[in-house]
Amino acid sequence: MGLLADGCSNDSAECALQRFELLGRNGAGANSTVFKCRDTASGAIVAVKKLEGSTVPQVRLQLPLTYLQAAIMRACAHENCVTLLEAHQGLTSGVIYLVMEHAEHSLSRELLLNPRGLPLPKAKLVIFQLASALELIHGKKVVHGDIKPANVLLTAQCNSKLCDFGSATSVVLSGGDDSTQALRTDEVSSRWYCAPESLLGAPGSAASDIWALGCILGELVTGKPLMAGGQNELDQLSCVVAMIGQLSRAQEKLLQLLPRQQRAKLEEARARGPLLDRYAGWVGA
């Protein structure tokens, strides 16, 4: 069955997508669905991300976020970032389709298969590859904004691929405005990888991406999320200060802006830590 079951009418974008045979669904998000497809012209297996254009917010310069996502993926071409092959938009529906390379499974699935963590050499390789991708991304003045195991794909060749640039921001592509905040998902699991300043509403930054990468490193070597907080930002902040203890000076200044009752809850959590000391045995491994 084709990706578009109803045919292509007169829409050139939809006609172009008729060559993709639908094989299954890989996953879905708030505004998008990812399908596994076969390109009948080449025989290649690809992933097609369908974004509902009419429901996607706009950024400051009225550049559709979906266009921004495609532009960022083009700008951040790297062996450890998922490759964008094609992009199409339906003229009548407004739906955008991003055709990307396909990977076998995600890092989150790999962790499910390895509940005690990955072998240390493999964990180091994954982190090295993601750090290499972030070096290029940040050099392009782009912030990914949603780094977590579910957004890291793994190929059969043990290559890590950073994916889902739907929350990414770019100073260059957004017209030089560095105040645009990355759109974040409401999924609880995404908060586990959020830097404290992001939980407090500050715009995403290269530093917040690196924080998320560090959280992934801890999860890779232990098999468990490093800081799995509760159902809201305050619960997650409590988890962070219990784990880390004293944060950076800038982060501590942001915490002082919270109401007194919330600050008291954080101090109670801080008194339980720093729990990170229990991972001291991994240092130098």
For the CA atoms of 204, 210, 214, 215, what is the dihedral angle to 10 degrees?
Answer: 20
For the CA atoms of 139, 143, 148, 149, what is the dihedral angle to 10 degrees?
Answer: -40
How far is the C-alpha of 82 from the C-alpha of 16, rounded, in Å?
A: 21
For the CA atoms of 148, 162, 220, 233, what is the dihedral angle to 10 degrees?
Answer: -10
Compute φ and ψ for 273, nearest 5 degrees: -115, -160
How far is the C-alpha of 72 from the C-alpha of 78, rounded, in Å?
A: 12
Active-site residue, selected from the candidate residues 6, 11, 39, 146? 146
For the CA atoms of 184, 188, 190, 191, what is the dihedral angle to 10 degrees?
Answer: 90
Q: Is 105 exposed, middle or buried (0-12, 13-18, 19+ CB in 10 A)?
A: middle
Compute φ and ψ for 201, nearest 5 degrees: 95, 5
Q: Are 154 and 124 in contact (CB under 8 A)?
A: no
> Is there a catalytic annotation at residue 277?
no
Q: Enter the tokens of residue 38.
A: 């076969």
Compute φ and ψ for 136, nearest 5 degrees: -70, -45
DSSP type of residue 211: H
Q: Enter the tokens of residue 120.
A: 């240390």
- Residues with Cβ within 8 Å of 281's Cβ and at least 6 positions away in sequence, in order, are none
Amino acid at 119: P
Residue numbers annotated as active site: 146
